Structures are given as C-alpha cells and as structure tokens.
Chains A and B, each alone.
Chain A
C-alpha cells in the first residue's frame, strides 16, 4: 500500500512517499507560480528516488497553503493536522509541536494519541519565520546554509526590537554600519525569531516533549536560540525524514489511513 503526501508550502513544495507506514522517499522543489506543476515535479522526483511508478500510488493527500491548487490529489488536510500526524509518528512523546516555515510559524498541542487539542498560527508577520532569515542572509552576504553554524560562534546578546521584518532589517543594517561582527548579528536575528515563536508557544502552553519541525529547524543556530529561550532541548527530526518533510509525511500517513491503514 503506497501513498504520497504533498505539502504545498509558500516557498517549497515537498513530497513524501510512504509504503506501509515507512518512508520510501522525499523530494522538494521551489513552489512556482503554477503550484500544481511544482507538485507534479516534486512527485516525479520522489517517484524516481523511490524507484516506483506513478500508478503504484494509491492515494495522494495534499496539505499546506496551496493545497487546493493540487487538483490531482484525492483529498486535502490542513497543515495543523498534517504536522500533528507526521510529528507524532516520529516522536510519540511529543505533546507540543512548533512548525516554522518560510512565511508562518505555528504551534500545535496534541494529546497522547496524537490528536490536535489546540493550535496557534502567526502568519500576520514574517519576522517570526524563515523568510526573515533569508532576507538577513542576503543583507549579510552569508549563504543561508551557513547562518546556523556562524551564529553558534557568537556569545553576545544583541536585541532586535522592531516587530516587523522591514524595520528589523533596518536595525540589522544599523548593526552592520556599527561594524558589529557578522556572527553576532546572525545570532541576534535567530534570537529575535526565537523570541516571537517562544512567545507564541507560551501562549498556547508548553507541554513536553516539544518538537520543532519545518525548514527553519535545519538551522542549528536557531534551534540553539529556541533551546536557550525555553530552557530545555527541543526534539528535532534528524535521521530519516528531514524537518521540512514532516508535514508531507503526515499527509502521506493520513492517506494511508484513508485507504484502510497499514
């Protein structure tokens, strides 16, 4: 029994193919103007990696901001449900999930069976999400992949006070003008995003264990900022499925349920 989950995110479209509850492959492409075309490409790439044919996929479940554009999917579920399903399958001990993607941060509370109890979304402001790190990496001329490692070199705490990406960026520019070290600025950026997200976690309520998923979870500097803020370590998917694929995995698992479970 093979199913696919497609997470049509605002920045990337991710696909996860699952057989009997086990991940066969994952693939990601940039979300283009035509989301369905991007989904097709990502699916094609995941099929090649798994070495299977399209016809072998019995059910496709779409999720994410652009899920409705994926007309070839059999059903859709919201990111919240997909995140809960995917995270619970990796970390059964997780009761709180933080998902930080390119343009939104969300916090989900689940019970001991993985059911969603409550959730909060911050999508009114990009200052708490991945797009902000990306904008800062451009301003600092640092590859986004290197942001995490560089920030770990810093031990300084510099507050970024503005609550808005644009104004926060101008604060960063001021720091550049003051000849602040790059690693200190990067850490300040990570701390600022962490503040916004931990504030949202506290609002929903912290129940351990707490898992961090979404593309931004790949940034070790950001994870460090979150851990420092919360005073304990977050669970971040490492082996097997990367953090940005958890939602697609959740969708693929819901697809498995749809055709009778595994």
Chain B
C-alpha cells in the first residue's frame, strides 16, 4: 500500500531526473520548510527538499564546522558528492545558522544556475512579520520570473496554493486515521509518506494519497502496543523508527519538520495570494529557531499528545541543534507534568548507533509497561 511512497523515497534522485526529462521543467533544491513552494509550483518548477543520506561522509569538513549539526553537514555532503547534480537552482528561507551555512557553502562550491536566499522574518510573533514576508515574497517571485523568463500570474499562484493545500489536506486526513485505537498505518509508513511528498511532484503525490485513503480505512494491522510520539528537528531515521516499532510499540504522531510541521496548516484561499502565503508561513507551527519569545510549540505538542492519546514521547535531539535543545526542558516538563506522558531524550547523529539506542528504547518501554514487571 505504501510501495509507491517507499519507491519515491528510496529513488528520489532518479525520480527528479526523470521528471526533468519528462516535463523539460526546472528543479530547485530547498533547504528548510520555510521555502514557499507555492511560488515554485506556480512557476512550474519542481521543489525537492535537500536531505541527508544517513551515511558516514568525509567531504564536508573543509566547508562547514564540525560542531554544526550533523544533518546540515550531511546535506552539504550530498551536494559535494554530486548526488543533486540535476538541480537547476537552490533556495533557502532564513532559519537556523547551521542550514544557512550549508546553503552558502553549496552556493560557493556547487555551481547551479539560480540561487536565492529568501530573507524570512525570525521574529514571527511580531505583528509586522506578515507584511515583511509579503514584501520579501514579491522579491522572490520577481527573481523566479526573471530566471524563467515567464510571468507568474495571480492565477498561477492560486494553482500553486491549490497543489500545496491539497497535499496538506490529504496528509492531514491520513494522520486523522492515526488517532484510531489501532491506526491502519505504522509510524515508519507515515514518515516515508510525508518525506516523499517533499521529493516528488505533489500532483502525483496527491493522486497516490487519494488512492491510499480509499484503501487505508479497511486495513487492519496487529495491535499497536504503546502509542508513541516522536519529536525534534528533521528526522528520516527510518532504521531507528523501524527498530522502535519492532519492539512492539507504535509511533502514532510526530512533531518534526519532516512531518507535521511541514504540512499542518493550509494557505487561506480568499484574498491576495502572496499575502496569504506569507500569513501561512508566519503562522505555521514554528521551528524553534523562530519560536520566540513565546514558546508556542510546547502547547502544540501537548495538544498533539492529547489528540493522539500517546503514552510516551521520544525526544529526538539532533546533535548540536541548539534551538531544539533549548526547547527540550520545557517540552519534557509540559509532557511529564501536564499530561503525564513520560519522555526519553536521545541525541542523534546522522548515523544511528542502533544497539545503544535499542537498549534505551527497550528500557523506556519497560518503564511504560512496568506494571507487568513488578
């Protein structure tokens, strides 16, 4: 049922190359989920998210500090190794310092036709953030138009919004099914489904989601075991997720920018397109690098914990990711004290020491199952 998503996830580069051949269109690599893909779809460009490969690498050291997060180094390594050689351009929306370093280093060392650094407000809680971003989006749109030589009309923007919104709505519908006592999909399947949406043409992804939604409700899996949440920065550690679920638990919800933070909110379709896009990206569930001075994300996590009836949460901390680490004590406290959900904190690198993590996760599950043991 999830073969198509898995195939896209595993063969992302082949997919993008074939897409180019087939459509003659341009492909842009995006860093960070603050990039307004609506505008790229409006220009008939395929946005693909640049993610790492979870393999040890030895090429990024001269270009990015060893104490920058391993994910950002892994992303740069993909570029340096030529795995994204089909890209016509790259763009980033300003977020954390580390991924910005990946972007600027990529820009310096890996030639592409088009690069754009989208200045995105950091103080998104300011009432001036939406007008600020709207102006920046105008500039971004203009730059894309100049590059492609084609005007992006209001109609084009509406079309871009529709493609993105449909994808968000369909993913949301699948996630609704995860609230069931026995969700018809595993956490691993959900992860691959959402991550693959960031790699392929959303129109195709939407079709696959519609088909999936027809079949999913009648699917029945084994008893889910402990209902878990995973949360943190980006995360496509499929090996880790598979290990956790193989131990007899089920991940039913995530709070990652490769998951819910990516698709949770839609763009308002009444009113000026660019202003509506700006509103969505300012008001979306924020990355902790922008969630300041109020920490709105913590309340959102608690809300998810209740809605999805979770019994435990795995805080997946990417090593050296300061914005996320700063949030961890508040998240831990909120989950443990406000909703009585035990948490486990794990520090991730791009390669996962599966044996060590297994001991920790097993012990965590033993705590959740303690009634049977004592």
Contacts and interface: CB of A to CB of B under 8 A. Distances in A.
Given A115-B370, A257-B373, A257-B374, A78 B356 contact: no
B359 interface: yes
B362 interface: yes
A124 B359 CA distance: 13
A121 B373 contact: no
Interface string A74-90: 00011111000100000
B7 interface: no
- What is the interface of chain A mostly: helix, strand, loop, or mixed? mixed
A121 B360 contact: yes
Given A121-B359, A124-B356, A78 B374 contact: no
Nearest to A258: B373
A168 interface: no
Contacts of B359: 65, 78-80, 121, 123
Contact of B363 (A113, A114, A119, A254): A119
Contacts, number: 39
A77 B373 contact: yes
Nearest to B362: A78
Contacts of B135: none
Interface residues of B, number: 12
Contacts of B362: 78
Contacts of A79: 359, 363
A173 interface: no
Contacts of B366: 77-78, 80-81, 116
Contacts of A85: 374
A79 B374 CA distance: 15
B330 interface: no
Interface in A111-140: 113-117, 119, 121, 123-124
Contacts of A254: 373
A79 B363 CA distance: 8
B367 interface: yes
A65 B363 CA distance: 12
A115 B371 CA distance: 9
Given A77-B373, A81-B373, A116 B356 contact: no
Given A80-B363, A81-B363, A257-B374, 12 more contacts: A78-B359, A79-B359, A80-B359, A81-B366, A114-B374, A115-B367, A115-B370, A116-B367, A116-B370, A117-B367, A121-B359, A123-B359
